[in-house]
Structure 1
C-alpha cells in the first residue's frame, strides 16, 4: 500500500483545479489576454482541461505507486479523475458565468487517460530492463 504522503500532490492538484474553477467567467476572460502572450493560439481555456487532468492523472498514479502500472490501476486512476471532474463540473454550476459542460468532462477523462497510459508504459519499459526504479 502506498504511503499516505504520496497522496499530497494529488490533493494539491485537486485544490488548484477547485480554485481555478471558482473563478467567474468574467475573471477568466480578463486573464485570457495575459495567457495568450505565452500561448498565442489559445482562444479559450478549454484545452486546459487536458493539461489539468493530465497532471492530476500523474499525481494520482504517483499516489497509487506500483498499482498504477496495471490496467486495473489505469482504470482506477481515470475513474478517480473523472469522478473528481464530475464534482468540479457540478461545482461550476454555482459559479457566476460558468456552467457544467459534458465535453469538459470528456476532456478531463482524456487528459487523465493519457497520463495513466504514459505511466503504464513507463513502468512496463523500466520493469523489463530490471530497473531499481520500479517501486
Structure 2
C-alpha cells in the first residue's frame, strides 16, 4: 500500500501546484507583513518537494542511478518551467525567469541532499531510510 501511495503522490502534488497556480497569489492565504518574502521563498521549496516525491516514487520501482537522478531533476525543473508558462496566462499572476531560477535551485538543493544521502555520501540516517524505501519493490 505504501508503494502505491509513494507512486501517486507526485501526480497529486503536481495537480495541487497547477490548481494553486491557477488562482490569484492571495487567494489561499495572505500574510500582511511578510507575504511577498514568504511566497517568493516558497519557489525554492515547492519544486524541491516535487523532486523528492518523484525520487521516492522512482525508488519503489528501481534503484536510482545518476542518469535516473538527472531525469528526475529535469522533470522537476521542466514542470517548474511549465508552471511559469501557465502563470503567464493566468490573470493576477506573473511569470519571471527569476522564479524559474528559484524553482531549479530548489530542485538542485533537494537533489544534492537526497541523492547524496541515497549514495551514502552524506546524511547517513536519511540514506538508511531511502535504502529501506527502495526495498519496497
Query: TM-score range with shorter-chain normalisation?
Result: 0.7 to 0.9
After TM superposition, the structure 1 = structure 2 runs for residues 46-85 of structure 1, keeping only pairs within 5 Å, are: 46-65=40-59, 66-68=62-64, 70-85=65-80
State whether residues 26 and 97 of structure 1, in contact with CA within 8 Å, keep that contact through their aligned partners in structure 2: no
CA-based RMSD of the aligned residues comes to 2.8
CA drift of 1:4 comes to 6.3
The CA deviation at 1:32 is: 2.6
Match of 2:30 in 1: 31
Indicate conservation of the 8 Å contact 2:44/2:102, yes or no.
Answer: yes
The alignment partner of 1:47 has SS state of helix
Q: Shift of residue 9 of structure 1?
A: 0.9
TM-score norm. by structure 1 comes to: 0.75
Deviation at 1:44, TM superposition (A): 4.7
Alpha-carbon contact 1:77-1:112 (below 8 Å) kept: no
Shift of 1:97: 1.8
CA distance in 2, matches of 1:31, 1:132: 40
4-13 vs 14-23, greater mean Cα deviation: 4-13
Q: Give the structure 2 partner of residue 18 of structure 1.
A: 18
Aligned residues: 124
Q: Which ranges in structure 1 are unaligned for 5 or more consecutive residues? A: none
The equivalent of 1:101 in structure 2 is 96
